[in-house]
Amino acid sequence: MLLEVERTTSTGRSTTGILSIDGQQQCYTLEPPKVADPNGNGFICIPAGTFSLTIRWSPKNKRQVPHVENVPGRTEIEIHIGNYPDDTDGCTLVGTQLQPDIVLYPEVAFSALMTKLFSVAVLRNPSSPEVNQIWDVGSITYTEAP
C-alpha cells in the first residue's frame, strides 16, 4: 500500500495537505510548519521523501497508530488524532475537513484510515503482546508544499 501526503499549504503555524492511498484521496493532513528545528534536525515537519509505514503501539496515545519509520533525526513519528498545530508534536494529524491551521473530525478520518491500513497489514511478531506488535503496512511519501 502506498500512501502519499501532498502538502498544499504552509503557514507560520502549520503545513496542510491531502493524504491519498494508492492514488485515491483519503483525508486531509496537518503537520508542524516548515520552520527550522531548534535541535538542528532540518525542519520541524517531516522532510520530503518516502518512508516505511508500520502500525505499532503509541505510549502517548495508548493505542495502535501508524508510525512513519526512519525519519532522519526523529523517533516516534506518528499519524494520530488531533485538530491544531499544538497537537502534532512533529507528527501528522488527519481529518475529514480542513480549515486554515485546523483539521476537523479527526476521529472519523483516523478510524477510516486504520480500517484501510489493517486490511493490508502483515503482523511481524504474532506471539508478542499488543504493545510490542509491529504491523508492516507499506510506505508513505511526503511531498513539499509549493
Facing residues of 56 across strands? 65, 134
Tens-binned pLDDT, residue by residue, of the chain (146 aa): 999 999 999 888 999 999 999 999 999 999 998 776 666 555 578 889 999 999 999 999 999 999 999 998 888 899 999 999 999 888 999 999 999 999 999 999 999 999 999 999 999 999 999 889 999 999 999 998 66
The reported pLDDT for the residue numbered 96 is 98
The reported pLDDT for the residue numbered 64 is 96
CA 8 to CA 100: how far, in whole Å? Answer: 11
Predicted TM-score of the model (pTM): 0.92
The residue type of 51 is F
CATH number, domain 2-143, options 1.10.3470, 2.30.29, 2.40.440, 3.30.300: 2.40.440
The reported pLDDT for the residue numbered 12 is 87
The reported pLDDT for the residue numbered 48 is 92
The reported pLDDT for the residue numbered 43 is 55
Strand residue runs (E) in the chain: 2-10, 15-21, 24-31, 49-58, 63-68, 77-80, 92-95, 97-99, 102-104, 122-123, 134-143
Domain boundaries, the chain: 2-143
* Closest to 61 measured CA to CA, from 43, 76, 75, 80: 80
